[in-house]
Chain A
Amino acid sequence: MTDQEIIGLIDSSLQEEFELEAKIMTPEASFYDDLGLDSLDVVDMVIVLEAAFGFKIREEEAIRSIRTLGDLHAFVIAKKRKLEGTA
């Protein structure tokens, strides 16, 4: 998967899960302020991403510091590349 494909899959999964409009899905968008998500949504987000990519991320400490959609893109891309490297 290319980085763009990963980003596309993350965005489409979140749009579907949280009924978000595509136009607000920018890398700078804050989950809390711009996308209107809250702490309960984080649980759903983790489950959705794990299902979409087939790996576990809930135990990752780094996920706690994610604030924007761009942070999430970078986190998932790094995780994916790391797993590919160890495969």
Chain B
Amino acid sequence: MNATVYPLLLLWSLLCGLLFPLYFGLARLLTRWDAGRIMRLYIWLYGRGWLGLTAPFVPFRRENFDRDPLPTPCILVVNHYSFFDTYFMGGLPVFDVAFAVRSWPFRMFWYAYFMRLAGYLDVEGDEWEDCLASCRKTIAAGGSILFFPEGHRSRDGRLQRFYSGAFRVSIELGVPLVPLCLTGTDRLLPPGRAWLRPARVRLRTLSAYAPSDYPGALGYVRYRREVRDAMTRELATMRAGRK
């Protein structure tokens, strides 16, 4: 698996890098989209390619999106197990999603340019007001924002404490928040390992939360707690193999 997937991923990345100027130029000519949206589509397509090239070893299933279609724009929150979690966001039914990430990916030059162009948030390095302004701009243009509210990959499979940013943004901007539960990537590539293992990856959506249900100065604390509790329950259900 590793002898296949890693070289293919490298080739796919190089191909996408080489084709980018052509894609970007054509997209600018043929659409009226801003650069961020064009870039977010490209990253989503890159993720779709990842799903395709890993499919023989890593079957991917998207769950409940038919029952609970994503409201757009929205804030998405996803649990975090693996470096490759972000790649599986190519499995989302919507492409226009900017990610909120820590500073270290912005230090990887081969990612940084594309992430900046896509309007990704550096929640660690940028000021809160700048992050909020960036979210407002993306949301106003119809895009959504995705957070990994744990901030780090889980090392024991359990959901960690949540940071408040996603919940504050949802309340401040008045956009719904949708929890997503991802399983299987902890088997595929957990923290501390370099070699991939075959895994079944599932991405399940929960129903959207309305920020208006959490008024008051400390409303975001209850918001954060309720969403985390719901994700904990759903992940336990998924892990137990129940519906």
Contacts and interface: CB of A to CB of B under 8 A. Distances in A.
A43 to B, nearest CB: 6
A44 interface: yes
Contact of A44 (B102, B163, B217, B218): B163
Contacts of A78: none
Given A40-B123, A40-B124, A47-B128, A17 B164 contact: yes
Interface in B113-128: 123-124, 127-128
Contacts of B127: 58
Interface of A is mostly: helix
Q: Interface SS of chain B: helix, strand, loop or mixed?
A: loop
Interface in B163-187: 163-165, 168
B206 to A, nearest CB: 21
A77 B119 CA distance: 39
Contacts of A28: none
B158 interface: no
A17 B218 CA distance: 9
A44 B164 contact: yes
B5 interface: no
Contacts of B163: 40-41, 44
Interface residues of A, number: 14
A46 B164 CA distance: 12
Contact of B128 (A19, A38, A43): A43
B37 to A, nearest CB: 27
A51 B122 CA distance: 23
Contact of B165 (A16, A18, A44): A44
Interface of B: 102, 123-124, 127-128, 151, 161, 163-165, 168, 217-218, 221
19 contacts: A16-B218, A16-B221, A17-B164, A17-B221, A18-B161, A38-B151, A39-B124, A40-B123, A40-B124, A40-B151, A40-B165, A41-B163, A43-B123, A43-B128, A44-B164, A44-B165, A46-B128, A47-B168, A58-B128
